[in-house]
Amino acid sequence: MSLIHALVARGATVLAEHKAGKRDFSQATQTILSKIPPNNSKLTYVWEQYLFHYIAEGGFTYLVMADDAAGRRMPFAFLTELQRRFTAAPSSSNPSDDTPAYGLQGTFGPVIASLVHEFNTAPPQDELTRAQNELNQVKDIMVQNVEQILSRGERIDLLVDKTDVMAGQATAFRRGARSVRREMWWKNTKILILSFFVALFLLWLLVAQFCGAGLNHCSA
């Protein structure tokens, strides 16, 4: 149920109303009516999870309480139709200033009830609604396309992640290769130094055989 409580009032005096729900919102509607300025205006008040929409024009206030899920366009369309029917009804369009509270309940109350039932069960669909439905269909298609793009994006991200891993492995391999080359260079250097001393020792042994251990005979 979108529309819950609707009424027509002069100032703070309710002339006719209809309550679609079981809960009594009379105190809330009276509080809202007391806050509405005397000039022509359209506004929405928020109370708990409900929205009070109203149109004030020509000294009369047309008010409807609705769920917030109903939005604003449908309730204001209801208020526009309620105002049209009220001003078109001979018995209610020009009530006297001394009309008591609920003085039009018997004549206009059923009209409000019928209109509330109509908008709650099968609200009229205008051109704006049809255009909005077409836009929603296009939006659904766009959302599906975006989801497909996002899905491809996830695969791209996964590919990039794998590429990053491969790049990290290549960097680690290069570092390992440099470390191995460094170790091999030191080993080769040690072997060369050792070979030099071994060759020098062998040369000394060879010379010592002819010149003596101290190379004294060769010097003499």
Encoded tokens for 84: 């049209």
Query: Across residues 205-219, what is the average pLDDT?
Result: 68
Domain harbouring 98, CATH code: 3.30.450.50
Query: Taking 90 as the threshold, does the pLDDT of residue 18 lie above it?
Result: yes
Task: Give residue 198's pLDDT.
Answer: 84
Encoded tokens for 122: 């099968």
Give the whole-angstrom CA distance, residue 208 versus residue 214: 7
Domain for residue 11, yes or no?
yes
Verdict on whether the full-model pTM lies above 0.75: no
Domain for residue 214, yes or no?
no
User: Over the stretch 83-111, which tens digit does the pLDDT of each residue have?
Assistant: 999 999 876 656 666 788 899 999 999 99
User: Over the stretch 44-71, which tens digit does the pLDDT of each residue have?
Assistant: 998 888 899 999 998 899 999 998 888 8
Domain for residue 162, yes or no?
no
Domain for residue 115, yes or no?
yes
Q: What is the chain's mean pLDDT, rounded?
A: 80
Task: Give residue 158's pLDDT.
Answer: 56
Chain centroid offset of residue 113 CA: 38
